Structure 1
């Protein structure tokens, strides 16, 4: 078996992607961008075994200094989104089990203690192999729209309130525009306004540099949808991608002034129409925060009854080092009540009091 930890400049990364169905989250350029925002080093675990291949994009991060790790210890996580490991052939459970075992051994040799993966709801892996090498955790469901349905069927499947609100907005003079990049700064301002209103964590405070580089990295695969009010103000806006037949809802926001009108509902209708006309096969809206069945999930479920399971996957790669880190963590936070910590956070030694579970 050929095994290596490769960086985004390694030609094998792009060559692997050329051979297998993937999403934009798997691109080395996107992983590199995410590394800047998430303070990690972009790598991929690459392996070949006879006719089987495996690629796992990751961000490697140094273990926090407050845990006093005795040496260069690291952990790994997937970038923001759904950059799940990719397997060829996709359903080969025996190959996946072999690759995961060698992944464990290789990462441990490089001082990587744990690995956390957000799995792609549309690109499933054999669960029988996953559960033998780590912990598979189901968080909830995500929503998608089959873009082969007619526009009439799309309207018919909408939640009654969604359908009523969208028609009311259109009748009132609201308009949807795709790829009018003159409004990109308006989107950024509205997105930040929305995150502040929702008291979102610092992670979601993407810089202007991030947004500019995201557009540079994804090029024509990144799209901007803006909803203009009758006064020609940007009432809501969102970024979405179209890549390899998949439309993905990425980031969005609604201006404080227009919250009651719910203009974001028009964004989803506009993305559906644009993505269908462009020949894509599915529009993935995603799920609730952390995969939960919350108000965000219910909003998205109002557009389609088609659901997918969302999982994360966790691996302890070095049991001895992991046990030491847990010990250090417990010593540091022993005075803190257990109720201050979420039961689902992984790796637990990175959790700070009142930190929500890591499963976006």
Structure 2
């Protein structure tokens, strides 16, 4: 059987270019991974596994335990693996097993991997233990405002109306270590 080549990549704009051919989400992009690494107190790293000219990408956050050992996690949200559309489930599992073995050989004691509910919906890995935690809701953003409002639960409508009444506004902040930590603190409080 062919071998799996595994490369460790920096999470940066080059990473973003490499994954552009895959069906990806914001959770896979360098900005999100970098912000998550700050919150998780780790180092962002990308894995690229290649098997029979097919690729699997996995952004992870490495957290040191001591000088020899570390663990890894995918980002908060849905940062699961991105795979060539032509990969079969068996090939994806074979590649993931090779990733597991390579990580272990480098001192990784565990990998906590969140799967994306849309991108990874048809694949349940056989490597490790897979858990299901309930439904994930999604909304088609191309719908009209009226269509979105009609599918919004009553309790969420009340919250939105209350926020509008109290002049709550949102804004986009520049990502810095300080702003990521402030966000993390506020998020955990709620």
The reply to whether TM is greater than 0.5 is: yes
Map 1:256-275 onto structure 2 (within 5 A). none
Taking a change above 3 Å as real, the CA distance of residues 90 and 141 of structure 1, as seen in their structure-2 partners, is farther
Q: 1:121 aligned to 98, 104, 117, which one?
A: 117
Structure 1 or 2, whichever has the larger Rg, is 1
Task: Provide the C-alpha distance between the structure 2 equivalents of 1:72 and 1:211, rounded to a whole number of angstroms.
Answer: 27
Question: Runs of 5+ in structure 1 lacking a partner?
Answer: 66-70, 185-205, 215-250, 255-360
| Residue of structure 2 in register with 1:144 after alignment | 138
Map 1:146-165 onto structure 2 (within 5 A). 146-163=140-157
Taking a change above 3 Å as real, the CA distance of residues 164 and 114 of structure 1, as seen in their structure-2 partners, is closer
| Range moving further from structure 2, 107-116 or 160-169 | 160-169
Report the Cα offset of residue 167 of structure 1. Answer: 5.6
Q: Does 1:73 align with 2:42?
A: no
Q: Which has the higher helix share?
A: 1
What do the CA deviations read for 1:144-174 (whole angstroms, capped 9, x no partner)? Answer: 222343333333333345546756776xx55
Task: Provide the C-alpha distance between the structure 2 equivalents of 1:165 and 1:82, rounded to a whole number of angstroms.
Answer: 25
Report the Cα offset of residue 110 of structure 1. Answer: 0.6
What do the CA deviations read for 1:22-44 (whole angstroms, capped 9, x no partner)? Answer: 12221234323322332212211
Task: Provide the C-alpha distance between the structure 1 equivalents of 2:111 and 2:103, rounded to a whole number of angstroms.
Answer: 9
| Residue of structure 1 in register with 2:11 after alignment | 8
Q: Which has the higher strand share?
A: 1
Map 1:340-355 onto structure 2 (within 5 A). none
Taking a change above 3 Å as real, the CA distance of residues 161 and 25 of structure 1, as seen in their structure-2 partners, is closer
- Secondary structure (helix, strand or coil) at the match of 1:146 reads coil
TM-score (structure 1 length as normaliser): 0.43
- Secondary structure (helix, strand or coil) at the match of 1:36 reads helix
Question: Runs of 5+ in structure 2 lacking a partner?
Answer: none
Task: Provide the C-alpha distance between the structure 1 equivalents of 2:162 and 2:57, rounded to a whole number of angstroms.
Answer: 47
Task: Provide the C-alpha distance between the structure 2 equivalents of 1:28 and 1:153, rounded to a whole number of angstroms.
Answer: 32
Report the Cα offset of residue 138 of structure 1. Answer: 0.9
| Residue of structure 1 in register with 2:129 after alignment | 135
TM-score (structure 2 length as normaliser): 0.75
Q: 1:43 aligned to 45, 51, 60, which one?
A: 45
| Residue of structure 1 in register with 2:180 after alignment | 210
| Contact 2:54–2:87 under 8 Å retained in 1 | no
Report the Cα offset of residue 90 of structure 1. Answer: 6.5
Q: 1:110 aligned to 85, 106, 117, which one?
A: 106
Task: Provide the C-alpha distance between the structure 2 equivalents of 1:151 and 1:10, rounded to a whole number of angstroms.
Answer: 34
- Give the root-mean-square deviation of aligned CA atoms: 3.4
| Contact 1:90–1:125 under 8 Å retained in 2 | no
* Equivalent residues, number: 182
Task: Provide the C-alpha distance between the structure 2 equivalents of 1:124 and 1:39, rounded to a whole number of angstroms.
Answer: 26
Report the Cα offset of residue 211 of structure 1. Answer: 6.6
